[in-house]
Amino acid sequence: MAFTLSIHPWVHLAQYNGTEWIDNDLEQEHQTPEQEAALPEAELDALMVQRNSFPGLPLVNYTTQYGLGCFEGLKAFPQPDGSLKLFRPDQNCQRMASSMKGLMMPAVKPELLLDGIRRIVAKNAQLGFAPAYDAEWEKDHWLSGAAVYIRPFAYSEPGIGINLSKKPWVVTVCTNVSAYFTPGANAAVTSQRIRATKGGTGWIKTAANYVTSTLAKTEAINDGYMEAIFLDAETRENIEEGSSCNFFALFPGGQLVTPELGDTILPGITRSSIIELARSKGYTVREEPLSIHRVLSDAKECFVTGTAAGITPLGSLTHDGVKKEFSSLEDGSTANTLLKELKGIQYGAVKDGFNWMMDVK
Ligand SMILES: *Cc1c(COP(=O)(O)O)cnc(C)c1O
């Protein structure tokens, strides 16, 4: 099949005009999902190319030339009652604004972005562009569950000289995602590469950070692993995070440790949710420097967290040729228990005691 990205018809466009943020919802050309699925390949490709182009947005700008851009990733989950609910979208909208500030561009108003997201997800769903809840997903605790993936991203005005963006757009697109898990793939390896340095952009969800992450992850995969784990730049002693996910280790006595936030770690929303969830279940959770040697000698379990998978339990971690195995994958492990609880809340089967889920409108 040709390279196709299926973007849903309704897109949210916001732009700073120098004084204020203005926004509108854009309905791109579409048929019904069933009609589109039945199109000959070339016609479907042409339609998807059209849906992935936004009139008036410049090709040559600071984002495409210099990586001066940031983005968000969040999901809307199908509920048993037929509705769709967003997981903590207010947090993503706030992080988008703080990333934009970090890139020294005017920050989008979080409420304007949140309203836009809620509207376009609802409008797309009305057209049938959203997965329907399937009770089959309950059999594997929603590991096979589908969702709507929502991607807001900042995009600069035209420019070819190196500069900051003064009138950025924030474009939000949606697409369906299905389960993101490869059975058996759960081994991680530390990377020689450096993702983030003090004083750098590691804490910002910027496009630029993904160059090193993608190179490291590809090297890990080529060596037979699933994920690359980054160590800190200065001492090469402490674990920071995965290629696009935060890191947790479980120690004896029910103590969970995740590296503390700072310049070099992305403040994941799944990370903070898991911290709250684990505390509510009686775990002690500490945010502190986490040395690779402590993990290799004492950790019982390790897992990584992020919007894509929720929690991914790690079966092993290899560092300098030494492989340490964990019990994270076993039924009843802490990683699996927290994963089921998180997915249960997201798919409307477990009571949302934290008020994390939000309706679309
Ligand atoms: C997005 C991201 C995460 C995970 O954040 P969530 O809000 O949980 O999706 C972790 N690390 C990096 C580098 C990221 O870009």
pLDDT in tens, 184-240: 679 999 999 999 999 999 999 999 999 999 999 999 999 999 999 999 999 999 999
How much distance in Å is there from the Cα of 119 to the middle of ligand 1? 24
The predicted pLDDT at position 55 comes to 85
Which ligand 1 atom sits nearest the alpha carbon of residue 267?
5
Q: How far is the CA of 252 from the centre of ligand 1 (A)?
A: 27
Provide CATH 3.30.470.10 ranges for the chain: 10-177
The mean per-residue pLDDT over the stretch 119-136 comes to 97
Residue nearest atom 3 in ligand 1 by C-alpha distance: 245
Say what the pLDDT of residue 178 is.
86
* CATH 2.40.50.140 applies to domain 187-329: no
- The Cα-based distances of 309 to 149, 210, 343 in angstroms read 12, 18, 10
11: phi then psi, degrees, rounded to nearest 5: -125, 145
- Tell me the CA–centroid distance for residue 46 and ligand 1, in Å: 32
pTM of the model: 0.96
Nearest ligand 1 atom to the CA of 305 is: 8
Fold classification of 10-177 is: D-amino Acid Aminotransferase; Chain A, domain 1 (3.30.470)
Instruction: Tell me which of 244, 272, 277 to substitute to probe ligand 1's pocket, judged by most ligand atoms within 8 Å of the beta carbon.
Output: 244
- Candidates 283, 291, 234; CA nearest to 263 is 234
Beta bridge partners of 231: 239
pLDDT, one tens digit per residue, over 32-84 is 999 999 999 999 999 999 999 998 999 999 999 999 999 999 999 999 999 99
Pocket test for ligand 1, best of 266, 303, 356 (most atoms within 8 A of CB): 266
Cβ < 6 Å from ligand 1: which residues? 73, 205, 241, 244-246, 266, 268-271, 305-307
- Which residue has tokens 């945010």? 287
Length of the chain: 361
Listed in order, the ranges of the chain carrying CATH 3.20.10.10 are 187-329
Give the separation between CA 248 and CA 246, rounded to whole angstroms.
Answer: 7
